[in-house]
Structures are given as structure tokens and as C-alpha cells.
Amino acid sequence: MKIDLKKEEHNIAKVEIEIPAKDGLEAYNRAVKTYAQHVNIPGFRRGKAPRNIVERQVGKERIVAEALETLLPSAFRQVISDNKLEVLMQPRIDDYNFEVGKDVKVKATIELKPEVTLKEYKGMTVEVEEYQVPEDAFDKSLDNLLSQSAKLELVVDRNTKADDIIVFDFDGYSNGEKIEHGDAKNYTMDLANSNFIPGFAEQLVDKPLDKEFDVNVTFPENYHETKLAGQPATFKCTIHEIKQKVLPELTDEFAQKVGPFKTVDELKADIQDYIDKQKEQADRKNTERAIMDKLHDTVEVDIHEAMISREAESLLEEYKQKLSGQGFTWEQAIEAQGYDKIMSTINDDALFRIKNSLIIDKIAREEKITVDQKALTDKLDSLSAMYQMDRDTFAKYMFQNPSMINNISQQILNEKVINFLVENNTAKFVKPKAEKKSAKTAKSTADKPAKKTTKAKAKVEA
């Protein structure tokens, strides 16, 4: 077999393959027999029709296509092996000439894995914005814990306060029309933690029981229902119940109820430990991002547009599924944000993902970082525990789905490479700059670490 391969720009290789006539004839005859076995030909038993009859019944083009299906996989394997190619996709056939009795000639395009050049990835010093623990983090955590154990008492002798819980009716109108699904009876709202339209809950403060009043608001410009976006609205409201939170006393007895603590001091120590661990996790994540950002800025790699397009298509499907899960449609997203803006973000994200994957793969190969059976087993054990499934059942299910195992293996490799980078570079912590969120730093470079919680039964957030 003759092979002529030429590498072109943007990681594309053009190959011309010449397969000996003998091999082509054998493949063609095998294809004829295959069709003879599976196609009903009047006057002949299956597999007994002569070649010219099968050709007339099936058509030479179909037989040639079948012959190529058997010839080309091994031919392409030899091309890849002989030239030590790292391919991204199955080769694309551009042209072929298949005449029985003559050498088979095939022209194809092969998309190669981009070559990555990293100037440095070890021994760097990167500036990392240090996570700043809010001054009131401890007090808020303790207050949240007390609040979650609070009792509710009915109030009948005063107006509402900003931290009350109320039961009320509301009926909404916009531009003189009743708002669809904009009404409710006996709706419960925590005034201090409302997810209603901005400004709504604030107007329910200092209001009496059983007297109708109006709440005037404006829907946000990016509201999901375009008819209401940016429009003024009036809600007629009547409060039927006011409940105030009565916090428990912070005593040793309270500490014993909410966790494995004997004293208030032990509870406080656990909260502080939780806050410290949050800072450690945040600093670690900021360090990972700073290192990867620096590598993204310095990496030299030529990424073909086709590669970006495929990744963008995958991200677009993920985006549509996420929209669906949140109760929105693709059409609503386009109306709210604009098609060009959405696709620009998705293409940026696609390029980031590809670069990230190529960088991690490059470092893994350079440092001979691999995923062994123990790492895979440990990961499966961790996932089965997280999903509360029997370990053996979970592992059997995963191994029946090769793509899932591949994804898990890639996660493990990502984690190993990220750990290597953190261990082999120096983080110089600096005060945070003005808060901003770039598309680049918004991405996670590895699996998010499992969120640690306090030992207290109630969830505590700093």
C-alpha cells in the first residue's frame, strides 16, 4: 500500500492512499457475497446468485461502498501508525477511484490534535487574590444557626417588621391588565429572604393586618416573560397573619441539640473551623484559576475552527437543557439576550474548554501523569457513596457505559494535573482588585471540592 501524506495549516493532514488491485478485488468480492446473503434475488437461493446478477440487483456503487467500509479502517490505521499521528476525528474521504482490477485510490482529510507549546508551567510565581473573610462572617453564621432553630409566634398588635414572616393575598396588574399567574391566596413570605420582584418585599414592611394596600413595582428589564420586562405593575395585597421569629438562647443545651457538642465554646470553635476551611477552599480555587489563567495567556496552540464549532455545538445543547430545566425555552433566551450575544459567549467558552483540555493533556504527558486502577476505584467508591448506591451495582452500571468511565477518568486526570500545578508553583497572595468576573476565570479548572459543612445539624453559611 502506498501512502502520501502532507500536513497543512491548522492541524490538517491530506493523505492519498493507493491500495493494491488484488486487495481491492478481494474486498469487492466479499461485499458481493455479503449482499448475496442478505438480499432476496428472484430465481436464486441466498448466497448463490452470480456476481453480475448481484451487481445488477444491488448496484455497483453500493458494493463499492461496502468494500471501502472493509478496506479503509485498516488502511487509515496504517497511515496513523506509520506517521505517528494524533487524530481528533475519523478521517473524511474527499474522493476515491475504485475500479475492479485496478489499484484503489483514496484521498482523505485527517484532523490532527493541535500541538501545544507551553513556555513554562513549573516554578512560576503567580499573583492570587486572597479570599477576604467578611468581618461579620462568624456572627452571621451563629445568627443563621439560631434563626434556623427559631420558633414562630403570631403577632396581632403591631404592623409588620422587616424580619417577619407573613401570610397574605396578592393580585397583580400591569398596564391595566391582570397578570397571568400573578395572584395567590394565603401565600407565605419571609420578608427578610424574598425572591419576589425587587422592591416588593420592602413595601410589605410596616403594614397592618387585614387592610388592603397597593404595592407598586417595575419588572426587571431582563425578566423572562418579555411582555412584562421593564413594565410597571401594581399588586393589591392583604396581610392575614404576621409571625415573628423568637430565637433560642445560646446555651450549652442549645449546642447539644444542634450537633455533637457539649458546650457553646465547642459549637463556636466548630463554626470558626468551618469559616477557616471555606477560606482555604476559596484560596485554593483562586490559586488554581490564577495558574490556569497564566497558562492560557502563554500557551501557543493553533485550534481549527471545526474543533471550536463542535465544542460550541455541545455547549449549546448543554445550555438548552439547562434552560429547559429552569422552565425557559431557547426562543425566550434569544429574546432576552440576543442570538449573537449568546453564541459569542458559547464560542468563547468552547475555545476556553478546548485550551484547558489541551493544556492539561500536554502536562499529563510531559510529567507522565496517568489514571491507575486504584484512582478509578477510589473515585467510583466516592461517587457511589455520594449517590447512595451500592458500590458494586454502581461500578457495573458505569463500566457498561464507556463514555461515563472516560469522563470520570478525565476528571481524575484533571484533578491530578491541577494538584501537580499547585504543588509545583508558588502562589503570591494579594488583596482583591475591584470585583469583576471574566469569562476565563469563571470556568472551573477541575472538579469543585466537596463543600465542607459544620457538624451542626442546621446548615451554616458564612
1 near 17, Cβ under 8 Å?
Answer: yes
pLDDT score, position 434: 67
CATH 1.10.3120.10 range(s) for the chain read: 116-149+264-462
Q: pLDDT averaged over the chain?
A: 90
Which band of pLDDT confidence, cut at 50, 70 and 90, is reported for residue 458? very low
Which of 189-193, 225-229, 418-422 has the lowest average pLDDT?
Answer: 225-229
Distance CA 239, CA 188 (A): 10
* pLDDT of amino acid 399: 85
pTM of this prediction?
Answer: 0.73
- pLDDT for 412: 95
- Average pLDDT of span 159-185: 95
Grid cell, residue 411, equals 476528571
Does the pLDDT of residue 398 top 80, yes or no? yes
Q: Which residue has the cell 469543585?
A: 448
Predicted confidence at residue 42, as pLDDT, reads 76
CATH fold of the domain at 2-113: Alpha-Beta Plaits (3.30.70)
| Choice between 173 and 395, residue whose per-residue pLDDT is larger | 173
User: At the fourth CATH level, which superfamily is domain 116-149+264-462?
Assistant: Trigger factor, C-terminal domain (1.10.3120.10)
Residue 300: exposure state from Cβ atoms within 10 A (0-12, 13-18, ≥19): exposed
Percent of the chain with pLDDT over 90: 76
Phi, psi of 382 (to 5 degrees): -65, -45
Torsion angle defined by CA atoms of residues 205, 208, 213 and 215, in that order, rounded to the nearest 10 degrees: 10
What is the predicted pLDDT for the residue at 435?
56
Q: What is the pLDDT of residues 326-360, one digit of tens each?
A: 888 999 889 888 999 999 999 999 999 999 999 99
Least confident of 65-74, 224-233, 259-268: 224-233
Indicate the range of 46-55, 185-194, 287-296, 331-340 predicted with least confidence: 46-55
- What is the reported pLDDT for 444? 38
The mean per-residue pLDDT over the stretch 5-12 comes to 92
Contact criterion met (CB below 8 Å) for 384 and 408? no
- Residues spanned by CATH 3.10.50.40 within the chain? 151-246
What's the per-residue H, E or C state across the chain? Answer: CEEEEEEEHHHEEEEEEEECHHHHHHHHHHHHHHHHHHCCCCCCCCCCCCHHHHHHHHCHHHHHHHHHHHHHHHHHHHHHHHHCCCECCCCEEEEEECCCCCCEEEEEEEEECCCEECCCCCCCEEEEECCCCCCCHHHHHHHHHHHHCCEEEEECCCCCCCCCEEEEEEEEEECCEEEEEEEEEEEEEEHHHCCCCCCCHHHHCCCCCCCCEEEEEECCCCCCCCCCCCCEEEEEEEEEEEEEEECCCCCHHHHHHHCCCCCHHHHHHHHHHHHHHHHHHHHHHHHHHHHHHHHHHHCEECCCHHHHHHHHHHHHHHHHHHHHHCCCCHHHHHHHHCHHHHHHHHHHHHHHHHHHHHHHHHHHHHCCCCCCHHHHHHHHHHHHHHCCCCHHHHHHHHHCCHHHHHHHHHHHHHHHHHHHHHHCCEEEEECCCCCCCCCCCCCCCCCCCCCCCCCCCCCCCC
Q: What is the pLDDT of residues 51-63, one digit of tens each?
A: 888 888 889 999 9
- Numbered ranges of CATH 3.30.70.1050 in the chain: 2-113
Q: Taking residues 114-132, what's their average pLDDT?
A: 94
What pLDDT score was predicted for residue 454?
60
pLDDT value of position 455:
64
Q: What is the mean pLDDT of residues 35-50?
A: 78
CB atoms within 10 A of CB 127: 12
- Reported as a pLDDT band with limits 50, 70 and 90, residue 456 is low
pLDDT in tens, 204-220: 999 999 999 999 999 99
**Residue written as cell 397597593?**
214
Q: Which fold has domain 151-246?
A: Chitinase A; domain 3 (3.10.50)
